[in-house]
A = this chain, B = another copy of it.
């Protein structure tokens, strides 16, 4: 029976029951963390082979490039080829960088700010005011990057097929709107795959700003944890088709394929953008870690072999997501307290509680020793207008702990709802 349909007396009984449960959880002194999308230990162990794939100087050659010395700013040819095959673009459109796609994203926007992009009239720091489109719920670190440069963040509601495109098409008519964040496949946190129609509408946008920057963070492009690999369109050629070749920068990394923090990241863009960016990046760095790039090429080999590895990750991740969604379905589904997505890939389950419950639920979780991503984090400026969205990150804890953590979470959500209805 839904809480709202209960009588006051029924709710009082339920409140006492749930309160007792909550106290029992607290007494256990748990310490569980579901705050971030960190791979779990089993996943790390899965890729231990990468540590020993290059142990001899004779391994350190890639075609005619000696990877042990300076040089090759835009990355090793073999690493470009690997990412190009995965992303479906051309190797010459790929820049392979360091260990973090976030840094490449930040740097792209920073270059726009300090120097301007290829089609900028001036560096963005010389603009009066910059607006930025933020599909939300979205990734807090994306929002913080654009916030740190003083841009005004505009929330674009997410739908089942991606961002609300009617609104996007309307807003890009404003020349102050300079760009947009996107996680097109298994969006963070909703786990939504942008529909082909949405992607097509994005590729054919006609922004008033000549230097509109489409940030295409393909962080989960091969990260299915259930079912077969789902192909995705190449955003670069789509944008080119509609005369927007220089509008998009796509990002990816192996952070959730090999080792988080010790992986390899890349961006992909038009060849004109590549030429422009290489000149700017050449001022910042001589070259990225090519040893680690080659280590990854030797270990991952090609797309097919990488997808085989992703199946092994899926075998670890799948049961964790099942534990989350099944516990939600059992514990809070019948009570009408929340809805959630049931993704087939990515790293998150996005839960939407009844309005006004998210903060209180997570505060209670914290009391009971379960740390989750802060309420509000999935919205620009960390403010969820409905105080409803909660990002659950099930990857780190082992299944047994996760099961416990989700039971705690459901208990806290119930308690928050009952408190609200008092």
Q: Chain A residues in contact with chain B, CB under 8 A?
A: 36, 38-39, 41, 44-45, 48, 51-52, 54-57, 59-60, 66-71, 98-100, 102-103, 106-107, 110, 113-115, 123, 125-126, 141, 144-145, 148-149, 255, 259-262, 280, 283-292
Residues of B within 8 A of A286 (CB): 100, 102, 141, 261
Nearest B residue to A51 via CB reads: B55
Smallest CB separation, A371 vs chain B (Å): 14
Smallest CB separation, A178 vs chain B (Å): 15
Report which of B44, B68, B284, B290 forms a contact with A69, defined as CB distance below 8 A: B44
A145-B57 contact given A68-B260, A99-B288, CB 8 Å threshold: no
Residues of B within 8 A of A292 (CB): 262, 289, 292
Instruction: Enumerate the 8 nearest inter-chain pairs by beta-carbon distance, A residue then B residue, closest first.
Output: A262-B291, A52-B55, A125-B125, A106-B284, A99-B289, A103-B285, A44-B68, A70-B260
A149 to B113, CA, bound (A): 11
A39-B69 contact given A55-B55, A262-B292, A292-B262, CB 8 Å threshold: yes
Report which of B38, B56, B145 forms a contact with A283, defined as CB distance below 8 A: B145
Most chain-B CB neighbours within 10 Å: which of A44, A68, A113? A68
- B114 and A149: CB pair below 8 A? yes
A-B residue pairs in contact (CB < 8 Å), sample of 19: A44-B57, A44-B66, A44-B68, A45-B57, A48-B57, A51-B54, A51-B56, A51-B59, A51-B291, A67-B261, A99-B288, A99-B289, A102-B286, A103-B285, A107-B284, A114-B114, A114-B148, A125-B125, A148-B283
- A262 and B102: CB pair below 8 A? no
Residues of B within 8 A of A261 (CB): 67-71, 286-291
Residues of B within 8 A of A110 (CB): 110, 114
Nearest B residue to A54 via CB reads: B51
A71 to B54, CA, bound (A): 25
- B102 and A38: CB pair below 8 A? no
Smallest CB separation, A277 vs chain B (Å): 13
- A285 and B102: CB pair below 8 A? yes
Smallest CB separation, A127 vs chain B (Å): 11
